[in-house]
């Protein structure tokens, strides 16, 4: 059966999240409905990570199996034709081998968190950024962020509802950058815990405001206590920007602990940010 890799962007505001749910309309459900309208087949779409309500994506990846061997561009254009009323767009489609799995062959996931840091509130970007009016010390935030790199028990920075049994993750990148009147937090790892990036963003904001020091952040990490985390940032500013795959990567099989994909998306644990990603 032909398998297709879809690269997807969406505005998370109209949806209850990526994953199909009984209590609301999701990105997955919208695309599956488009597949049914286009190909006449009820198919399950498998995403690289589950994002929560209000979380956006500019580079979500999913895979889909269809009975007929369609041209990739035809699949892309036909799905987009049926998604015209949705806040979702299929950026590209490519045929891939059956060994490709959007979730389990992912090598790394990349997220962006956007903070609008100016006195006037957002008008055009409302729902797409976290508005913080108090000036932030970006250099201090970036310096502190580097203290979180590497392999740690991130219990402090995950939701109490996180389904992952193992709170240990390896954080490859956590950069804080000035971008005009925005502050961008960029994070990369193979997998994230539920609400991990939004928890980082909220704690780093305290650094930027001068309310926390680097040592406060390190102490919070070492405490392994959710109560020591700063306020969790809203979903508005979070974007899944890219999912990386290595050429020829083999499907990884996980133990029961790998059953959760996070909102911040992930490979190992199934849930957020990346699901319900946050």
- Which positions are catalytic? 52
- Count other Cβ atoms within 10 Å, centred on residue 162: 23
Q: Are 65 and 16 in contact (CB under 8 A)?
A: no
Contact 183, 205 (CB under 8 A): no
Instruction: Decide if 185 contacts 112 (C-beta within 8 A).
Output: yes
Task: Provide the H-helix boundaries in 98-178.
Answer: 138-145
* CA pair distance 248, 52, nearest whole angstrom: 30
Contact 275, 265 (CB under 8 A): yes
Half-sphere exposure (Cβ direction) of 91: Cα atoms closer than 13 Å:
12
Between CA 18 and CA 21 the distance in angstroms is 9
45 within 8 A of 34, measured Cβ to Cβ: no
Query: What number of other Cβ atoms are within 10 A of residue 92's Cβ?
Result: 13
């Amino acid at each position: 059966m032909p398998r297709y890799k879809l690269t997807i962007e969406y505005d998370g505001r109209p949806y209850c999240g990526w994953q199909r749910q009984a209590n609301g309309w999701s990105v997955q459900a919208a695309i599956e409905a488009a597949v049914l309208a286009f190909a006449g087949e009820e198919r399950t779409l498998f995403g690289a990570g589950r994002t929560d309500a209000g979380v956006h994506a500019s580079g979500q990846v999913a895979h889909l199996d269809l009975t007929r061997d369609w041209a990739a561009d035809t699949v892309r254009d036909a799905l987009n034709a049926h998604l015209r009323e949705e806040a979702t767009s299929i950026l590209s489609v490519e045929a891939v081998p059956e060994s490709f799995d959007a979730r389990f062959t992912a090598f790394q996931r990349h997220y962006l968190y956007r903070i609008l840091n100016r006195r006037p509130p957002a008008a055009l970007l409302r729902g797409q950024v976290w508005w913080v009016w108090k000036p932030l010390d970006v250099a201090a935030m970036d310096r502190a962020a580097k203290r979180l790199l590497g392999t740690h028990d991130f219990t402090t920075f995950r939701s109490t509802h996180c389904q992952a049994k193992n709170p240990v993750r390896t954080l490859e990148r956590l950069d804080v950058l000035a971008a005009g009147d925005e502050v961008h937090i960029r994070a990369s790892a193979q997998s994230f815990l539920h609400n991990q990036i939004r928890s980082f963003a909220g704690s780093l904001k305290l650094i930027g405001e001068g309310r926390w020091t680097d040592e406060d952040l390190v102490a919070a990490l070492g405490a392994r206590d959710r109560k020591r985390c700063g306020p969790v940032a809203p979903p508005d500013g979070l974007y899944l920007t890219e999912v990386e795959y290595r050429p020829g990567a083999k499907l990884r099989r996980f133990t029961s602990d790998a059953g959760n994909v996070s909102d911040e998306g992930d490979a190992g644990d199934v849930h957020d940010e990346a699901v319900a990603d946050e």
